[in-house]
Homo-oligomer: A and B are copies of this chain.
């Protein structure tokens, strides 16, 4: 049991570190370091542009989607090299947020089900961030229930004609392509009769409406399909096999989200080290300590659980549903942490204005964004079902 790099790993780390030092957008380092859930501001720059530029730069130098095969725009790296890269990329990794769905879900699904020709055509620009992808799964009537999907795909010669509506599509408004699950046969039971496609988000008949969130931001969209045509060669997996295709995708979502999900603890711990309450450092208050200790061991437990998954990966084992715990634990924890941070500020905690609030309103933004973390990519209840059924083997 050790954290030591092998010689090869050490060499890889050195190379990565050197390249990052020479090429990362240093001018945004501080703002990225301060970024936390619900708050990422780059003064005088559009986050999207900065993110795309950084991703392209990485791709040109062979640092994008490291674990993907070279021919698809990756580097053919081992899982452990990918982790080393993430460690070295540090705060600049936060720029990758807009690519999580594309790289974490769409890419793997394309790799598993698309034709070789399509893979070589579509994956490299996805890896380089030149093309952004989204996933179109959830529907207004569906919620957590993917099997209850209604969006229809009807065969018409070599094409399929899509009609229906999707919701909670993150980044649809800046996406170039998307993977879409549809119902191709309404006559068979719910889980059957589904089929997966990928499509051009600029196709005629697609209408995208951003959803204004409770915290005022808009990360998600409603997407309406009216007689949208998709050529059959953009089908992913067999007709009627969409459910199985989607399981791969969703598990990848939970893994990617689970791996990257924030707990808010580091921010709270730093804050408590600065904050003075009634003339005493907050960190010396026994009540504060009791709270911090409980969150500290959760945050630590998540960190080392991820390390264990990485070790499993590097031994060639495929991480299973146990990764669901990351988001399950962190989702409610970050909400409690934000609430407590405001509590520590007293009446002043109500102020969210970055110019006047404590630590630029970081925790107020976190509080208002956090309810979504317990829902997006599987609600707490769904995640507990997954653990109970797929890990503990309880009946579905």
**Smallest beta-carbon distance A278→chain B, Å:** 11
8 Å CB interface, A234-290 against B: 285-290
Chain B residues with CB below 8 A from A290, complex form: 287, 290
Task: Give complex CA distance A328, B368 in Å.
Answer: 31
**Smallest beta-carbon distance A81→chain B, Å:** 44
Q: Which of A286, A288, A289 has the most CB of B within 10 A?
A: A286
8 Å CB interface, A281-332 against B: 285-290
User: What is the chain B residue whose CB lies nearest that of A288?
Assistant: B286
Chain B residues with CB below 8 A from A288, complex form: 286
Task: Give complex CA distance A286, B288 in Å.
Answer: 8
Chain B residues with CB below 8 A from A289, complex form: 287
Task: Give complex CA distance A288, B287 in Å.
Answer: 8
**Smallest beta-carbon distance A299→chain B, Å:** 20
Task: Give complex CA distance A289, B289 in Å.
Answer: 13
**Smallest beta-carbon distance A343→chain B, Å:** 11
Task: Give complex CA distance A290, B287 in Å.
Answer: 6
Q: Which of A285, A287, A288, A289 has the most CB of B within 10 A?
A: A287
Chain B residues with CB below 8 A from A285, complex form: 286
User: What is the chain B residue whose CB lies nearest that of A291?
Assistant: B290
Task: Give complex CA distance A146, B288 in Å.
Answer: 47
Chain A residues with CB under 8 Å of chain B are: 285-290
8 contacts between A and B (CB under 8 A): A285-B286, A286-B286, A286-B287, A286-B288, A287-B287, A287-B289, A287-B290, A290-B290
Contacts A286-B286, A290-B290 given; 6 further ones with Cβ under 8 A?
A: A285-B286, A286-B287, A286-B288, A287-B287, A287-B289, A287-B290
